[in-house]
Amino acid sequence: MSSRWIPLESNPDVLNAWAKKAGMASNVEFGDVYGFDDSLLAMVPQPVKAVVLLFPISKESEARRTKEDSEIATNGQPELDPTILWIKQTISNACGTMGLIHAIANSDVTVAPMSPLAKFIEQCIDKTPEERSKLLETTPLFADIHAQAASSGQSAVPTNLDTDLHFTCFVAAPSPKGEKRLIELDGRRNGPIDRGACTDLLKDAAQTIQNLYVGESQSMQFNVMSLGPRHTD
């Protein structure tokens, strides 16, 4: 990977600080998902536009990643919506910014015209995932936004930038056949991953996270956040 950024802390304040600077509309925000029970999912403001997961990289998760990537390369997967914007991660510790870009760019969230994010998304449309990576590498503004957000968390900025935590993102996208599909967007993978039919983004993403991520790990270092309407008391 080409360079190293400070890891983003996984809390809504940090993600919202990043999103505000990048140009996301003020009527939506990232918020915590406190659990997978129906009663806890019901507390999440609707409609959910995207789900962001922070998970620990482990031997189990790496083995599953290798197996899944191999199976997709060999057997393919359902045809994906060609408008999905996915970026290959080439910057170490940039997975937080990658997850945020994937979440916002692949939902119907409003982005301010001429904002850094709007300009970046427009420039990415006709580029390959690798060309998008190079664009991210050479856009200092995103490195600056990432650094400012990383420094705004509740924890002290680490002196050791090595981390075994990683962000991924889930969105709903139409298939060429017209049905909604749950799509995982992770810059460390070989492309977008179809996770099956999607009737309720939050519930379907929660079930996938439980089955694929939490179920294979003994770690407690998971955090799930949703992108949706700004919470009002």
Taking only the tens place, the pLDDT of each residue in 138-186 is 877 777 887 787 776 544 444 444 567 899 999 999 988 889 999 999 9
Rounded CA-CA distance 224/12 in Å is 10
The residue ranking higher by pLDDT, 128 or 3, is 128
Which among 102, 124, 146, 166 is annotated as catalytic? 166
Question: Which pLDDT value is given to residue 152?
Answer: 64
The residue segments making up the domain with residue 130 are: 12-229
Task: Over range 69-94, report the average pLDDT.
Answer: 93
In a domain, 6, yes or no: no
In a domain, 2, yes or no: no
Bridge partner residues of 55 (DSSP): 166
In a domain, 116, yes or no: yes
Question: Which pLDDT value is given to residue 159?
Answer: 42
In a domain, 195, yes or no: yes
In a domain, 135, yes or no: yes
In a domain, 82, yes or no: yes
Which among 95, 124, 169, 198 is annotated as catalytic? 95
DSSP for 173-215, written as a single string: EE-TTS-EEEEEE-TTSSS-EEEEE-SSHHHHHHHHIIIIIGG
Residues 6+ apart with CB under 8 A from 131: none
Confidence of residue 65 (pLDDT cuts 50, 70, 90): very high
Domain tally, the chain: 1
Task: Over range 186-190, report the average pLDDT.
Answer: 95
In a domain, 109, yes or no: yes
Question: Which pLDDT value is given to residue 72?
Answer: 96
pLDDT for residue 81 is more than 80: yes
Could you identify the residue written with the tokens 């959910």? 48
In a domain, 5, yes or no: no
Please give the mean pLDDT across all residues of the chain.
88
Q: Are 217 and 60 in contact (CB under 8 A)?
A: yes
Q: Is 166 among the residues known to form the active site?
A: yes
pLDDT for residue 5 is more than 90: no
Confidence of residue 54 (pLDDT cuts 50, 70, 90): very high
Q: What is the CATH number of the domain that holds 79?
A: 3.40.532.10
The residue ranking higher by pLDDT, 162 or 193, is 193
Q: Is 95 among the residues known to form the active site?
A: yes
**H or E element: which one contains 62?**
helix 59-75
